[in-house]
Amino acid sequence: MGIRIGVLALQGAFSEHIDAFKLALQVLDPPGHSSVIPVRHADEIPDLHGLAIPGGESTTISRLIDKNQMRRPIEEFEGGIFATCAGMVLMATEVDDSRIRTLGLIEMNVERNAFGRQRESFETDLVINGFDTPYHAIFIRAPVVTSCGPRVEIISKIEKGIVAVRKDRHYAIAFHPELSTDPRIHIRFIQGLGV
Amino acid sequence: MKLEELRFGTELLKRGFASMQKGGVIMDVVNAEQAMIAEETGAVAVMALERVPADIRKAGGVARMADPEIVMSIIDAVSIPVMGKVRIGHFVEAQVLEYLGVDMIDESEVLTPADEQYHIDKTKFKVPFVCGARNLGEGLRRINEGAAMIRTKGEAGTGNIVEAVRHMRAIMGEIRMLKGMDTQEQIDFSRDIEAPAELVIECARMGRLPVVNFSAGGIATPSDAALMMQLGADGVFVGSGIFKSSQPKVMAKAIVEAVNNFDNPEKIAKASRGLGDAMPGLDIHTLPEDQVLQYRGR
């Protein structure tokens, strides 16, 4: 058997994550037949090793998670979750917007659209703990983590705040590793799944 | 690039923003109250307007960019992205919307064109643009000018899906045709459709447009929205269809639901029940040619 990864395909940049995971699996080449699938139904979640929650609109995705009865299966998911941008907002225990029901899977406070509007979106080279060269990161109307619990590992931080964290098998990333051609973060997530 | 040096307004950021809208419904709104309803019902973004297309048709005269006061009140009311429309070729209206903080600009045939020869040079802006297209050539010309998202033109303000279907089928059909051609034939084809050869070849290789492809212009029901998704749209714009229906909130929720479950008839059926009246429709064939919006801008 191989590694089974699902990408939550309710709204947002899910096909980019599917491509990025396929590239990462190609590089890693784990034994067995690995697969990356779009996830649109709650019953597909428990069978996965890893689940990605992509960027998109956190208000919309949070509504659709409830509408599709996915909240419980995600909260009870035993594998790792890879959450980017809107996904990071959903993973938090606290967010600066009461309309969003978060999943609360990582103890952290998140500020939405922390850098401003789309004209303030940016690309930059980031230092990421554990990587020997900078990572080219794409921030689009990105959130930041303003504070996090003691058991949350900070992977990357810039002046504005924390932009990447890990808690056990879960990763939450403020930027979009699925939009760059560098698969290192996806690879690190897969390696941490313990499959 | 130096560490922590920031770059703004790049092609990747513009196209990336468009990707985040995929699978979503973008709703036309004319005030803060409507914008909040759109956000609450699950819109991924709103289009801030002075009038919805159906009312632009009724009003006649020259249709222009919305009053900045309306745009600002909508920006202040919601946390989702706010888009705004400018006239084709009117780059100063675009400069104004960019200054106001609009997240994406629609260079739209729904407004009266300001330039009958040229579209806006969209590479000069930090904010991304979406443009309408009726076929592959038109879409690729807009992408070549810097558009980060394409949408079908359809026929806005009619509540009639027929033109959006025609345009989506044209774009997807031409891309399918391309895949059967060798490179020389693709280059030849690019001359026929008046599009840059490299973009034509890229489409053939990817089997899709190189940017996100939405549908717009005539979506009035949940089934209309799901139809466009099944025909290959990445998401939909709903203009007059929501706030010109008898129960906007219910209609908005139903269309979001249908886009999310576009291949599930059971869910679309459920979403379509008891919606009240959809917006009154117009037969395209009864429109005098000067009132057909899709012919604006080629």
- Tell me which residue in A15, A86, A179 faces B16 most closely, judged by beta carbons: A179
pLDDT, one tens digit per residue, over B148-178 is 999 999 999 999 999 999 999 999 999 999 9
Q: What is the mean pLDDT of chain B?
A: 95
The pLDDT of B181-189, averaged and rounded, is 97
pLDDT at A9 over 90: yes
Q: Are A109 and A146 in contact (CB under 8 A)?
A: yes
| Domain of residue A9, residue span | 4-191
Is the predicted pLDDT of residue B2 greater than 80, yes or no? no
Report the pLDDT value the prediction gives residue B3, as an integer from 0 to 100.
60
At A12-55, the pLDDT tens digits run 999 999 999 999 999 999 999 999 999 999 999 999 999 999 99
Residue in B7, B11, B20, B211 to test binding to A, most A beta-carbons within 10 Å: B20
For chain A, what is the domain count? 1
Check pLDDT > 60 for residue B1: no
Does the structure show a pLDDT above 80 at B4? no
Q: List, as ranges, residues 257-276 from B with C-beta within 8 Å of A.
A: 257, 260
Separation in Å, CA of B23 to nearest CA in chain A? 5
Question: B80, A118: Cβ pair inside 8 Å?
Answer: no
- Which pLDDT score is estimated for A170? 98
Name the residue facing A60 among B8, B42, B127 (closest C-beta). B42
Set of chain B residues whose Cβ sits within 8 Å of the Cβ of A119: 8-9, 98, 101, 103, 126-127
To the nearest whole angstrom, how far is the Cα of A194 from the nearest Cα of chain B?
30
Give me the percent of chain A exceeding a pLDDT of 90. 96
Contacts within 8 Å (CB) and 24+ apart, A100-105: A100/A58, A100/A59, A100/A62, A101/A62, A101/A66, A101/A71, A102/A62, A103/A65, A103/A71, A103/A74, A103/A75, A104/A75, A105/A74, A105/A75, A105/A81, A105/A167, A105/A170
Q: Above 80 in pLDDT, residue A1?
A: no
Instruction: Quote the pLDDT of residue A2.
Output: 92
List the 103-162 stretch of B: residues with Cβ below 8 A of A: 103-104, 126-128
pTM: 0.96
Q: Is the pLDDT of residue B277 over 90?
A: no
Question: Which residues in chain B have Cβ-Cβ distances shorter than 8 Å to A85?
Answer: 20
Residue A21: give its domain's CATH number.
3.40.50.880
Looking at the complex, report in whole angstroms how far the Cα of residue A60 sits from the nearest Cα belonging to chain B. 5
ipTM of the complex: 0.96
